[in-house]
Amino acid sequence: MTDVVIAGVGQTPVGEHWEIPLRDLAIQAMQSALKDSTGLRPEALYAGNMLAPSLSHQAHLGVLLADYAGMAGIEAETVEAAGASGGAALRQGFLAIASGLVDVALVVGVEKFTDLIGPDVEAALATASDSDYEAIQGLTPTAQAALLTRRYQHEFKLPADGLAGFALNDHANGAGNPNAMFRKAVRLETYQQAEMVSDPLNMFDIAPNADGAAALLLTRPDLLPRKFANPLVRIAASATASDTLALHDRADPLWFSAAQLSVERALHKSGIAREQINLFEYHDAFPVYAALSLEAAGFATRGTGWKLSQDGSIGLKGRIPCGTLGGLKARGNPGGATGVYQAVEAALQLRDQAGANQIPQAKVALIQSLGGPASTAVTHIL
Strand partners, 288: none
- The span from the CA of 149 to the CA of 39, in Å, is 46
Q: Which of residues 15-34 bind a second copy (CB under 8 A)?
A: 21, 23
Is the backbone of residue 265 left (phi > 0), alpha (psi -120 to 50) or beta? alpha
Output the smallest distance, CB 65 to a second copy, in A: 9
Nearer to a second copy, 113 or 306 (CB): 113
Q: CB-based contacts of 227: which residues, under 8 Å, 6+ apart?
A: none
With CB under 8 A as the contact rule, the residue among 9, 33, 81, 143 that binds a second copy is: 81
Query: Per CB under 8 A, which region of 45-53, 196-204, 205-213, 215-223 contacts a second copy?
Result: 45-53
Q: Which stretch binds a second copy (CB under 8 A): 27-35, 71-79, 207-215, 351-359?
A: 71-79
- Of 40 and 55, the one with the shorter C-beta distance to a second copy is 55
- The whole-angstrom separation of Cα 155 and Cα 307 is 14
Binding segment for a second copy among 68-76, 214-222, 340-348, 360-368 (CB under 8 A)?
68-76
Q: Which residues, other chains included, contact 302 with Cβ-Cβ below 8 Å and sequence gap of 6+? A: 254, 255, 295
Provide φ and ψ at 298, rounded to 5°.
90, 15
Q: Which of residues 259-278 bind a second copy (CB under 8 A)?
A: 261
Smallest distance from a second copy to CB 183, Å: 31
Using CB under 8 A as the binding rule, whether residue 190 contacts a second copy is answered as: no
Stretch of 95-103, 192-200, 209-217, 218-226 lying at the interface with a second copy (CB under 8 A): 95-103
Is 376 a binding residue for a second copy by CB under 8 A? The answer is yes
Give the shortest CB-151-to-a second copy separation in angstroms.
Answer: 20
Span from 34-42, 177-185, 228-236, 255-263 in contact with a second copy (CB under 8 A): 255-263
Give the span between the Cα atoms of 99 and 97, in whole angstroms. 5
CB of residue 83 vs a second copy: minimum separation in angstroms? 9
Q: Is 379 in the site for a second copy (CB under 8 A)?
A: no
Count the residues in the chain: 382
Interface with a second copy (CB under 8 A), residue from 3, 16, 38, 77:
77
Q: How many residues bind a second copy (CB under 8 A)?
A: 67
Rounded Cα–Cα distance for residues 89 and 86 (Å): 5
Interactions with a second copy, residue window 289-308 (CB under 8 A): none
Of the pair 7, 258, the CB lying nearest a second copy is at 258
For 314, residues 6+ apart whose C-beta sits below 8 A from its C-beta are: 165, 166, 169, 280, 294, 308, 320, 321, 322, 323
Q: Name which position in 40, 135, 340, 343 contacts a second copy (CB under 8 A).
A: 135
Q: How many CB atoms lie within 10 A of CB 89?
A: 36
Kindly report the CA angle at 264 between 259 and 266, in degrees rounded to 5? 95
Nearer to a second copy, 123 or 196 (CB): 123
Per CB under 8 A, the list member of 280, 346, 375, 380 interacting with a second copy is: 375
Rounded-to-integer distance, Cα 134 and Cα 326, Å: 30
Contact 366/263 with Cβ under 8 angstroms? yes
DSSP character string of 190-229: HHHTSPEEETTEEGGGSPPB-BEEEEEEEE-GGGS-TT-S
CA–CA separation, 298 and 290 (whole Å): 12
**Distance linking the first and last C-alpha atoms of the chain:** 16
Q: Give the residues lining the site for a second copy (CB under 8 A).
A: 1, 21, 23, 44, 50-51, 53-54, 56-64, 66-67, 71-82, 88, 91-92, 95-96, 98-102, 123, 126-132, 135, 238-246, 249, 257-258, 261, 371-372, 375-376
